[in-house]
């Protein structure tokens, strides 16, 4: 099995996340793609008042009509605490030892990759696929250039490229916009109608 892992807080999940998933399914010959919501992200500050149950409801809404073999991987929410990628890969590898894993990232995450928690061990368990994002460099850090490959063989330790998402959306900006609109019935660019329906019903992200 070739499985892609798209991790994040998904607070809220936006069209850029869905585009990245779509590109991965189109270009990596995946059998399945799993969205992996974090419990506590080691890379981003927690947002007050947004518990995992609400983020999970948003993610389920975002994926309701998504075309393709996608699911939600609960390992990090079930484990709790800080969600380190390595811990998740160890859990999944023990549970599904024959599976080939590839992490899906936007190019905004490239500069910080070498500083991830036990990153060399991460690369022993999985490969990485990167999609360029508007406004961010698509240059690999020098320490990772030897891992670059033209395509993913299925082996761990490889870094490959996906087409650009062409998506300018970021969850932090969307949270701000949601807090500024006078009426949550207004359309917020970057969020699907299904996600907006959940946010509106809960009157969430209001200042």
Per-residue model confidence as pLDDT tens for the chain (207 residues): 999 999 999 999 999 999 999 999 999 999 999 999 999 888 765 554 568 899 999 999 999 999 999 999 999 999 999 999 999 999 999 999 999 999 999 999 999 999 999 999 999 999 999 999 988 888 899 989 999 999 999 999 999 999 999 989 999 999 999 988 877 767 789 999 999 999 999 888 876
Chain CA centroid to CA 26, Å: 16
Tell which residue, 34, 38, 32, has the closest CA to residue 87.
38
The two tokens of residue 40 are 């506590």
Q: Map out the domains of the chain as residue ranges.
A: 2-168
What pTM did the predictor assign? Answer: 0.94
Check if CATH label 3.40.50.11440 holds for domain 2-168. no
The two tokens of residue 125 are 């368990």
The two tokens of residue 171 are 């969850």
Torsion of CA 170, 7, 100, 15, to 10 degrees: -40
């Amino acid at each position: 099995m070739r499985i892609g892992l798209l991790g994040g807080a998904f607070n809220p999940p936006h069209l850029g996340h869905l585009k990245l998933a779509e590109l991965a399914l189109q270009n990596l010959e995946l059998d399945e793609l799993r969205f992996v919501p974090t419990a506590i992200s080691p890379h981003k500050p927690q947002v007050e008042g947004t518990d995992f149950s609400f983020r999970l409801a948003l993610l389920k809404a975002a994926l309701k009509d998504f075309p393709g073999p996608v699911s939600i991987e609960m390992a990090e929410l079930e484990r709790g605490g800080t969600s380190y990628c390595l811990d998740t890969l160890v859990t999944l590898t023990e549970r599904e030892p024959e599976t080939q894993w590839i992490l899906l990232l936007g190019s905004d995450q490239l500069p910080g990759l070498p500083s991830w928690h036990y990153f060399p061990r991460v690369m022993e368990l999985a490969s990485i696929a990167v999609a360029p994002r508007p406004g961010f460099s698509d240059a690999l850090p020098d320490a990772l250039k030897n891992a670059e490959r033209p395509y993913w063989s299925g082996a761990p330790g490889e870094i490959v490229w996906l087409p650009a998402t062409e998506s300018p959306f970021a969850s932090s900006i969307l949270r701000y916009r949601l807090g500024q609109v006078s009426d949550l019935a207004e359309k917020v660019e970057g969020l699907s109608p299904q996600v907006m329906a959940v946010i509106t019903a809960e009157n969430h992200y209001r200042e």
